[in-house]
Amino acid sequence: MELFGLISIPTWLLVIIIIVTGIYLYFTWTFGTLEAMGLTTPKPIPIFGNILSELTHFVPDVDVKHAKLYGKTYGFYFTRIPSIRTSDPDIIKAVCVKEFNSFTDHMKFDLRSVDPMMNRFITQLSGEDWRQTRNVLTPSFTSGKLKQMIPFIDNCANELTSILGELADANQSFEIKDKFMAFLTDVIATCAFGIDLNSQRMKDQEFVTQAKRLVFQQNMFYLILAFIVPAPILKFLKISIMNAEALAFFKKVILDIIDARQKNKSRRSDFLQLMLDALEENNAPTDSNEPKKIPMTYETVIAQSVLFLFAGFETAGSTLSFVVYNLATHQKCQERLYHEVKDALDKNDGKIDYEMLSQLSYMDMVIHETLRRYPPAIRTDRTCTQDCMVNGIAIKKGMLIGIQIYALMNDEDYYKNPEEFRPERFEEDGCDYKNSFTYLAFGVGPRNCIGMRFALMEIKMVLIHILKQFKIVVAEDTQVPLKFLNGRFNLIPEKPIKLKVERRN
């Protein structure tokens, strides 16, 4: 083929040139958008945009470094997608609360490649669909409903402390996260699905194997593929950000439970039942003139049950591991906490109840300080759903706002010596962390973490059980200070955290 009558090039070469140019344009077309908005932006490269540094470094450090280099609010190309990243409390307040109606949605992953039902995860839903589903789920997390779960959690915590007792007697160090994950598997199985698993003692159960597959498959590689490769191609190549076999397993488990409950007309106060009740109530005909509700389906309920497992397992497991690590390496804090727990139990005839949990103020500080330093979610996000102006920045519909949770909570401007573990910082004058936009471990605004109260309840309960019987100490093989793996979206220690426990007399 002749080009402009000048050079003769073979057709195959021309096709290659057109394809390469097309790909190049596809991956670079959006470059310049952020700079035009007046945002300082690191220089992007084709295909990767600005993400390369995240693949090879410790992601939370990258976020802190970027905030120092480019300011608390800057532009960032997630592959080819222009986004704004911010750890500025004023902008976070505007996006998550004041202008929430323009930022109702999260970043979307197309999960069709795994199972269409997964597009019903509440995290995936947008606008009115999300609002409706959240309204149905919220009543399951009220203090009244959570109280009913205390006996279930108590049983699982008793099993854990009996195992810890054996390890204390053997004077053996052990991987603490393994123990917490087994405990949490039992808690979620009983509180979410009404299954008494006892995986802490009975190993190798399929529920546990599949739960681990579901939670641990994600990594940056899958995440990036999910962004740049269309869902049908991912499906064809059998690549997914979630393990399809594990999802199918849990879907069947939940369907079987629903089926059995309907046949036997039985009930249990777990999340599944609460959601089924809410579904029935939501779909009941009304004779008022209210606008028509979006009917909920079993599919939505099943999707949320699986999501709870996914969202609540690793987050609570890593929080608990970091709390006990901090207590082992800060014995003074542990003693103060032990005395708070002991006094509270003495006043309450040794019983744990919901009211007592809410009175443990130092426990609250220890947990929140751990979450500040080691947040399980280092970022969250919102997608702009209608053009809007935020603190002088004109944000277009469709643009993604990355909220830098770790960078914010480890910013010297808000937390003096942020690398220090010091729960007392929360009782110092002027530090009303729960009501400030500088503390974001559970997110903020109407789309914050729906499971926060449940998570805090189970974490506090298991800590009480442990502290009243044991002193947590470092072992010869405990890594101090902690070092973390690079290229991950969550804080995973290079070496698993190993500790010892000693019986208190």
Q: Which amino acid would we find at residue 371?
A: L
Q: Shortest distance, CB of residue 226 to ligand HEM, whole angstroms?
A: 18
Count, residues near ligand HEM per rule CB under 6 A? 25
Residue 450 in the binding site for ligand HEM (CB under 6 A): yes
Handedness of CA 87, 92, 95, 100 (dihedral sign): positive
Residue 376 in the binding site for ligand HEM (CB under 6 A): yes
Distances from the Cα of 137 to the Cαs of 143, 272, 301, 380, in angstroms? 14, 10, 9, 20
Q: Shortest distance, CB of residue 176 to ligand HEM, whole angstroms?
A: 16
Is 384 flagged in the annotation as binding? no
Helix (H, G, I), strand (E, B) or coil at 498: strand
Residue 308 in the binding site for ligand HEM (CB under 6 A): yes
User: What's the rounded Cα separation, in Å, for the pair 407 and 411?
Assistant: 6
Choose which of 240, 300, 380, 404 interacts with ligand HEM (CB under 6 A): 380
**Which residue has tokens 């970022």?**
379
Choose which of 246, 377, 388, 463 interacts with ligand HEM (CB under 6 A): 377
Choose which of 94, 122, 247, 276 interacts with ligand HEM (CB under 6 A): 122
Distances from the Cα of 347 to the Cαs of 148, 269, 286, 360, 410, in angstroms? 22, 28, 48, 12, 37
Best CA proximity match to 141, nearest among 257, 297, 274: 274
Choose which of 34, 111, 302, 307 interacts with ligand HEM (CB under 6 A): 307
274/377 with CB nearer ligand HEM: 377
Q: Which stretch binds ligand HEM (CB under 6 A): 353-361, 413-421, 447-455, 484-492?
A: 447-455
β-pair type (380-383, 174-175):
unpaired
Residue 296 DSSP class: P
Choose which of 197, 444, 463, 501 interacts with ligand HEM (CB under 6 A): 444
Rg, C-alpha atoms of the chain = 25
Residue 123 in the binding site for ligand HEM (CB under 6 A): yes
Q: Shortest distance, CB of residue 402 to ligand HEM, whole angstroms?
A: 11
Which residues between 309 and 328 bind ligand HEM (CB under 6 A)? 311-312, 315-316, 319
What is the phi-psi region of residue 3: left when phi exceeds 0, alpha when psi lies from -120 to 50, beta otherwise? beta
Choose which of 78, 174, 415, 454 interacts with ligand HEM (CB under 6 A): 454
Residue 27 in the binding site for ligand HEM (CB under 6 A): no
Peptide bond into 481 cis (omega under 30): yes
152/308 with CB nearer ligand HEM: 308
User: What's the rounded Cα separation, in Å, for the pair 35 and 81?
Assistant: 13
Q: Shortest distance, CB of residue 270 to ligand HEM, whole angstroms?
A: 11
User: What's the rounded Cα separation, in Å, for the pair 475 and 332?
Assistant: 17
Interface residue list for ligand HEM (CB under 6 A) = 122-123, 134, 307-308, 311-312, 315-316, 319, 371, 376-377, 380, 441-444, 447-451, 454-455
